[in-house]
Structure 1
Amino acid sequence: MLECRIPDPNPILLKYYQPGDLIFGGIVSQVFFLTSPAEFNEHPPQISLDELIVVTKNYQHILALIFAIKELNENPHILPNVTLGFNIYDSYLDAKWTYHAAMQLTSSRNRLVPNYKCDTQDNLITVIGGLNSQMSLQIANILSNYKMSQLVYGFAPETTDKTQEYSFYRMVPYEALQYRGILQLFLHFKWTWAGFITENNENRERFEHKILPVFSESGICFAFIETYPYLSFEERLPETIDWLMEIYDKVMSSIANAMIYYGDVNSMILLRWLLFLPEMEESVQKLKGKVWILTAQMEFTTSVYQKSWDIQVLHGAISFTIHFNELPLFHQFLQDRNPSSAIEDGFIKAFWRQAFNCVFPDAVLDNVVGDICTGKESLESLPGPFFEMTMVGHSYSIYNAVYAVAHALHAMCLSRYKNRAMMDGKRRELQNNRLWQLHHFLQHVSFNNSAGDKIFFNHNRELVGGFDVINLITFPNQSFIRVKVGRMDPQLPVDQAFSIKEDAIVWHSCFNKVQPISVCNDNCAPGYRKTVLERRPSCCYSCIPCPEGKISNQMDIVDCFQCQEDYHPNKYQNSCIPKAVNFLSYDEPLGVGLTVSAIFLSFISILMVVIVVKNHNTPLVKANNRNLTYTLLLSLLLCFLCALLFIGAPGKVTCLFRQTAFGIMFSVAVSCVLAKTITVVLAFMATKPGSSMRKWVGKRLAISIVLSCSFIQLGICTVWLAIAPPFPEADMNSVSEEILLKCNEASLTMFYCVLSYLGLLAIASFCVAFHARKLPNSFNEAKFITFSMLVFCSVWLSFVPSYLSTKGKYMVAVEVFSILASTAGLLGCIFVPKFYIIVMRPELNNKEHLRRSNI
């Protein structure tokens, strides 16, 4: 049979003692402060003066320890034949009494002799405590000398002394996880402006140096960071009230709705004081709804004189709590607890008196002031802030701490039993000088508790677990419920560690059931971007519209961005919409108008060709080289038709021949005009007696002029097509709201060479025609050619600025219009007068009339 025990000790009564083979040491914080007659003249507490005021909520911590040891002693599978006991000491929130209790636990019974223990009774195996970090450190300063394990059910302090080795086992997750959870909570609700209140100790320093930069990097700023000193309502009440008034004004005047309140288990009492100020002072501004974010160190507790204070000011608060589950038999255990059934309990009467506002009869003095405690009062009748019948986080940690030590001790006993054969008739004793061996087993302990949670430590001796996110819902009858609305689980991936059920949260009534906003200024709507304000935190900014061509599609965006190439910003610059594909189409009015005009003018040209052919042998047609007339009419017809190449979606073929066909056709037409003009001049000069110009007059000269001038333009176009041929292109950038389908000329130099050569021919024709405009009408068309070239040059001179100042399809339309207008100018000015005579006045189309008009 497995045995791991010491000789039965003689029981002694310390503060609270349960006899047993192995002793747990517990150090709790049951007392809050002393009271005196002058402190609460308006709201006097219903207790005897000069009596210690007990934080009744903390009594559950004691009961959790008792309940755990009771279960273990009744469990035959863990430490059989071993009875566990415990000693519990109250620290009174005082360093002197904390050190005294730690030394008392490590000394012989009734003999407080430091570092001396002369008996083998009351073998202390571990100490559980304390509740706040300072108390834990004070206990550790004593226990570290004995290499004794200390299971801390509050948050243990961060120690900077590397020479001192502390044996902390933290029954709570590492504290940084809680701050990560608060940060994720703020990011989830987009709260960027908050208040922070904490005690003036290492917590503030840790927050400012380690946590505040992380919040700032995530875009969260603090409207104020306030600390409160260690407060005493006994001697420094005026100073305390002044501080509370100052903080209250800052909280209520701030536009921040999210308030982080960092404190220890008893800090809730101070927060209750802070929120009670409007009831005490009429001059204080009325309470506004705030979202209080409470840390896991705190419990929803109250003091005896705060019993009637309204708790609905904390309605909707969000609290990070140590994960806990309800223990199956714990509720019944609490129901059975009363002063008559727990005679050995040294704390229960103090708790009972203040919880139920009654007194126990004094058998010695036989004087009773107030209601008598019957012992039959029901714990379930107490308000939640006073005492809860369900497990709370710190009590759950104490329960798990007891079981962790029991499992570790059981594993150590099994290890000894396996490694060493038992001697007949002898028992193995667990001596204090072997307690350091417990650390190895405690570090590797792993078990499932009665609530189904797995309990084990990581390499830093911290409990591997998470935090629950609790929404506090309060009621007018001083009751409240905790609603679990989220979780911070470190065992999940980082992006999944934090979860929140937003729809399950009940907010303070001041927010009208709408999620509160806590920002320094209004959010920048989509279509705007943030801009930094001088001498203000980064969370305070103004909003300016996005620049042209850019958008923002989210709230509070830092910089606007451009849409994809085939999209453009909408009117409000908050989204991208597809660009419309744009080109000079046959389907739109502008395209239809230009197409009809080109076809109509082409028809007129064909009609004139037909009329010329029918009147082939008339004097008017024969005058000035009828072959040139045919060539000019055909080239003008082709000029009208080449305008159609510019209408419709650009393709490879149309882009390749669009500008080159235009240049060549116009060069032929202008060359014909130039040849006609030169022919007129030479013919007039050849009529003079003895003129040597007669040999130049004839068809050869005209053909040579047309061919030579046209071939130069043909050569330019051939070079253009050879070195950099035009190609179709989708222009995304010229017009912000459109995709322009156009022909890229590839080489603007060659394009302007074509235009320049065409302009050179036109200027030459104009000059020659202007010189010959006064020659006899029977020999020339110089007057008509002069006017036609004037129209031609005017159109193309106005084309250049118009072409460069337009974009997209209108650029193409300008060129098409210029082609049609200049071609129509040549056709109308040169041929309309002739065709008027041919069609309307045929009697004038004879040699006699021509001779008479020449005289």
Structure 2
Amino acid sequence: MFVSMLWINGLRPAAYEADPLSCRLWTEPQKPDLSMNGDFVIGGSFSIHFYMRSEKNIYTRPPLQLQCTGSMDFRQLRFARAMEFTIQEINNRTDLLPGITLGYQIYDSCSEAPMAVKIAFLLTNGMAPFFNYTDSCSKSAAAAVSAVVGETTSSPSLALARMLGLFRILQVSVLFPYSTCACLSDKLQYPAFFRTIPSDDHQAVAVAKMMKYFGWTWIGAVRSDNDYGNYGMASFLKAAQEEGICVEYSESYYRTQPRSKLERVTNIIRRSTARVIVTFINSGDMRYLLEELSKHQLPPLQWVGSYWITNPELLRFNMCAGAIGYGIPRSVIPGLREFLLDLSPEQALKSPLLTEFWESSFSCSLKGKTDTSQLRITNLVYKSTYAIAHAIHGVICNDTQCDKSAKFAPWQKVNFTTKNGYQVTFDSNSDPVADFELVNWQFKQDGSLEFVTVGRYDSSKPRDQEIMCSESCPRGTRKAVQKGRPICCYDCIPCAEGEISNKTGCPVEFLSWDDTLSIILTAFSIAGAFISVCVTAVFYKHRTSPIVRANNSELSFLLLFSLTLCFLCSLTFIGQPSDWSCMLRHTAFGITFVLCISCVLGKTMVVLMAFRATLPGSDVMKWFGPLQQRLSVLVFTLIQVLICVLWLTISPPFPFKNLKHYKERIILECELGSAIGFWAVLGYIGFLALLCFILAFLARKLPDNFNEAKFITFSMLIFCAVWLTFIPAYVSSPGKFTVAVEIFAILASSFGLITCIFAPKCFIIMFRPEQNTKKHLMIHCKFLENNVKFISSFLP
């Protein structure tokens, strides 16, 4: 620091020898890369190169000028030339700024903050090498530019906006076409900041909603280690947490960091279990990441991109086939392609930047800069330049003429429509409404990748309606979903012979209420519940009769109640799946069936113990009284409730769009969430059913008139046969028939239970009342003298 101060103090007097009232720049001002004079000059800053040449200061000589180096980004050069084109188009108009000529000064920031700071001073100081202290600030420091278009990345934008924000008196506004960091919306830090692209907060929410929409809940995350990546990823992680998305890892990388950092990130991606990778990363960083990943064998990955998703230079990486992400809506700028092509060697020699472009593109037919088929960010530059022109026009012009001497505020806001028909508006934070295209990378017939718009996100739409599929197929055709692609990726193919389509919409399939199969299953479900209620009424009316009391009336009524619920729970499987219906249908089924089997198991154990405890003086039956029976049913059911609660807490079922079975339609179904939870519920039911079957089988040959064990045996045999058959049928059934098979299994097993256990008793009650007596029930039990007292306790 001491040496530095001596160097400055030693040189400073020399600056005043020529003129003590002025100071002089130590070096010649850096000339703009592209420029043109005008009544009002607009500055521009674009990241045309990837790197900035720098050296370590030694304090024995003035440091070298900052310079951009490395390969040229032709896409960024197109942005800069699009600004040129727009200004020429405005100058040729008579309805906008009549009699006023706009000029421009465009610089290359090479996406570095130090260079952006330098450009800020160049744009505010002008090109004069002297500064006269005798003039007032408002006159001598008059801004060289009236406004600035740039930067195209967030970190240089922060530096540029912070510097230019200090010079409000210099009438400098800054409008950013491609800087998305939400931090730039802070009007306290960046009072003169506007942009024509939505902030990253909108994109983060849009990506999180899309992830939930596709059911991608286990992901990895990679970001650029700069303001754009860090702020953007922070917003996404917050939105992802609200949507229930789990992030396995979150890594960062910047292209100037050591190669070891890049290798570390690629190794994490290759070894992780997450197959969906969400990225908030600059195009330059993404290129290096993909180049490194391409050197290794990778598992199939689903890339979810930020704005790099629309960079055509990355389409050469086939590993990203199927990548999806949000981009700026594609647009058309009439005349731009002809302007880009109209570049002669003589014109190129006037600018070192264009000379470099000419030399590097001479054998490439100028393709890199003149591709106007995917104008997205270019259109934002076009909008930004027009926004500045409209702001100037609104202040200095009336209906017929403009005043060149008029002053305007740097925060002048405008709403207008560009010449190519695009509406430009700003909110209170100087941000536009969030409107994104959902872009998918798809293979063309020649094997190369292309951008295909498959949907849209509009933040102005009502909640949960922001994501929209792309336009529907025309009449006479139907949507054929591309297998393995997101649901909005489809082909429009002619309808099959004998079929017509006179309306549009996504072809989806689920077991709806108006389906014939649903109507049949609903009828059986309601019929089963009605039968259960009728049996309950019969048993209640004859509740004092021997056959009802002898079969443990309390458990019988509880069993009939649970069977009614079993029949009705099948109705939850019908209709369009939703978050609540998916969770309800499986848990309701699991709990009601365990309640049912617990009651049957309690009845079986009572019958078995009553006839097996034959030893004199045995007191085993005291452990199977009414209280113990109630507790056993409660404990067995609570275990299933606990399993269901864990399932819903850890990984609950959720609606899912199945694309595997059919190419031509989407199947809406409930994904299990945790397969372990689902099979634990089924397994526990199966365990209780098997235990009940074994106990009932052991008691099957006991005295007939007091024995319902053989009926329980038959009911459990039917129950187990139905569910053993259900498993392969469930796995192999396609589409809505998967749900139908599950409903059929519920109804079949429920009908088996109510038929085997209650039909014989109801027959005796209704048609053989002479058998419904204590004498008849006890006639075969005389040899069980030790249990006559226990049996008699059930009888009137």
TM-score by length of 2: 0.55
The C-alpha deviation readout for 1:33-89, integer Å capped at 9, x for no partner, is: 3799xxxxxxxxxxxxx9642122211111110110011011111111111110011
1:42-121 matches, within 5 Å, as 52-111=70-129, 113=131
Counterpart residue number, 1:196: 221
Counterpart residue number, 1:708: none
CA-CA distance at 1:130 after TM superposition? 0.9
Of residues 279, 288, 299 in structure 2, which corresponds to 1:288? 299
Q: C-alpha separation between the residues in 2 aligned to 1:156 and 1:656?
A: 71
Counterpart residue number, 2:502: none
Counterpart residue number, 1:456: 425
Q: C-alpha separation between the residues in 1 aligned to 2:91 and 2:97?
A: 8
Counterpart residue number, 1:325: 331
Counterpart residue number, 1:446: 415
Matched, 1:354 2:323: no
Aligned partner of residue 122 in structure 2, secondary structure = helix
1:364-379 matches, within 5 Å, as 378-379=365-366
Counterpart residue number, 2:761: 811
Matched, 1:399 2:366: no
Contact 1:108 1:118 in 2 (8 A): no
Contact 2:309 2:323 in 1 (8 A): no
Tell me: CA distance 1:205–1:554, structure 2 relative to 1, closer, same or farther (3 Å): farther
Tell me: CA distance 1:298–1:105, structure 2 relative to 1, closer, same or farther (3 Å): farther
1:1-40 matches, within 5 Å, as 14-33=32-51
Q: C-alpha separation between the residues in 2 aligned to 1:657 and 1:276?
A: 78
Q: C-alpha separation between the residues in 2 aligned to 1:470 and 1:312?
A: 16
Matched residue count:
505
Q: C-alpha separation between the residues in 1 aligned to 2:234 and 2:83?
A: 36
Letter in 2 for 1:430: S
1:376-455 matches, within 5 Å, as 378-380=365-367, 382=368, 388-414=371-397, 428-430=403-405, 434-436=407-409, 438-440=410-412, 443=413, 445-455=414-424
Aligned partner of residue 225 in structure 1, secondary structure = strand
Matched, 1:254 2:278: no
Contact 2:86 2:382 in 1 (8 A): yes
Q: C-alpha separation between the residues in 1 aligned to 2:130 and 2:300?
A: 53
Of residues 176, 180, 188 in structure 1, which corresponds to 2:201? 176
Letter in 2 for 1:379: L
Gaps of 5+ in 2: 1-29, 55-67, 474-480, 488-508, 512-517, 547-556, 569-702, 713-755, 780-796
Contact 1:267 1:298 in 2 (8 A): no
CA-CA distance at 1:24 after TM superposition? 0.4
Q: C-alpha separation between the residues in 2 aligned to 1:252 and 1:650?
A: 62
Contact 1:192 1:220 in 2 (8 A): yes
CA-CA distance at 1:224 after TM superposition? 1.6
Aligned partner of residue 223 in structure 2, secondary structure = strand
Contact 1:486 1:499 in 2 (8 A): yes
Gaps of 5+ in 1: 1-11, 37-49, 279-285, 358-376, 505-510, 518-552, 556-566, 585-647, 664-727, 740-796, 830-855
1:662-681 matches, within 5 Å, as none
Q: C-alpha separation between the residues in 1 aligned to 2:472 and 2:411?
A: 45
Q: C-alpha separation between the residues in 2 aligned to 1:129 and 1:79?
A: 22
Q: C-alpha separation between the residues in 1 aligned to 2:535 and 2:164?
A: 90
The C-alpha deviation readout for 1:229-288, integer Å capped at 9, x for no partner, is: x333xxx6xx31x3333322322333332211211242332233233323xxxxxxx133
Letter in 2 for 1:225: S
Counterpart residue number, 1:485: 454
Tell me: CA distance 1:272–1:396, structure 2 relative to 1, closer, same or farther (3 Å): same
The C-alpha deviation readout for 1:675-730, integer Å capped at 9, x for no partner, is: xxxxxxxxxxxxxxxxxxxxxxxxxxxxxxxxxxxxxxxxxxxxxxxxxxxxx999
Tell me: CA distance 1:312–1:809, structure 2 relative to 1, closer, same or farther (3 Å): closer
Aligned partner of residue 340 in structure 1, secondary structure = helix
CA-CA distance at 1:651 after TM superposition? 13
Tell me: CA distance 1:112–1:231, structure 2 relative to 1, closer, same or farther (3 Å): farther
Matched, 1:136 2:157: yes
Q: C-alpha separation between the residues in 1 aligned to 2:77 and 2:456?
A: 27
Aligned partner of residue 211 in structure 1, secondary structure = helix
Contact 1:266 1:301 in 2 (8 A): no
Q: C-alpha separation between the residues in 2 aligned to 1:414 and 1:26?
A: 24
CA-CA distance at 1:409 after TM superposition? 1.4
Q: C-alpha separation between the residues in 2 aligned to 1:430 and 1:170?
A: 26
Letter in 1 for 2:191: Y
Aligned partner of residue 411 in structure 2, secondary structure = helix
Letter in 1 for 2:178: G
CA-CA distance at 1:316 after TM superposition? 2.3
Q: C-alpha separation between the residues in 1 aligned to 2:431 and 2:178?
A: 12
Matched, 1:146 2:133: no
Contact 1:252 1:288 in 2 (8 A): yes
Tell me: CA distance 1:730–1:21, structure 2 relative to 1, closer, same or farther (3 Å): same
Matched, 1:499 2:468: yes
Q: C-alpha separation between the residues in 1 aligned to 2:108 and 2:510?
A: 56
CA-CA distance at 1:180 after TM superposition? 1.9
Tell me: CA distance 1:461–1:35, structure 2 relative to 1, closer, same or farther (3 Å): closer
Counterpart residue number, 2:261: 243
Q: C-alpha separation between the residues in 2 aligned to 1:410 and 1:62?
A: 23
Aligned partner of residue 106 in structure 1, secondary structure = helix
Contact 1:268 1:301 in 2 (8 A): no
Contact 2:224 2:230 in 1 (8 A): no
Q: C-alpha separation between the residues in 2 aligned to 1:82 and 1:72?
A: 10
User: Over aligned residue pairs, what C-alpha RMSD do you find?
Assistant: 4.8
Counterpart residue number, 2:636: none
Aligned partner of residue 469 in structure 1, secondary structure = strand
Matched, 1:270 2:270: no
Counterpart residue number, 2:317: 311
Q: C-alpha separation between the residues in 2 aligned to 1:514 and 1:249?
A: 26
CA-CA distance at 1:160 after TM superposition? 9.7
TM-score by length of 1: 0.51
Tell me: CA distance 1:134–1:501, structure 2 relative to 1, closer, same or farther (3 Å): same
Counterpart residue number, 2:694: none
Q: C-alpha separation between the residues in 2 aligned to 1:51 and 1:209?
A: 31
Aligned partner of residue 53 in structure 1, secondary structure = strand
Instruction: Point out the more displaced range, 247-256 or 177-186.
Output: 247-256
Aligned partner of residue 334 in structure 2, secondary structure = coil
The C-alpha deviation readout for 1:324-372, integer Å capped at 9, x for no partner, is: 3111222222222343345544421112223346xxxxxxxxxxxxxxx
Tell me: CA distance 1:248–1:582, structure 2 relative to 1, closer, same or farther (3 Å): same
Tell me: CA distance 1:292–1:583, structure 2 relative to 1, closer, same or farther (3 Å): closer
Counterpart residue number, 2:485: 515
Contact 1:170 1:461 in 2 (8 A): yes
CA-CA distance at 1:583 after TM superposition? 6.5
The C-alpha deviation readout for 1:777-799, integer Å capped at 9, x for no partner, is: xxxxxxxxxxxxxxxxxxxx997
Q: C-alpha separation between the residues in 2 aligned to 1:22 and 1:388?
A: 30
Q: C-alpha separation between the residues in 1 aligned to 2:160 and 2:567?
A: 76
Q: C-alpha separation between the residues in 1 aligned to 2:293 and 2:440?
A: 18
Matched, 1:127 2:148: yes
Contact 1:155 1:297 in 2 (8 A): no
CA-CA distance at 1:173 after TM superposition? 1.5
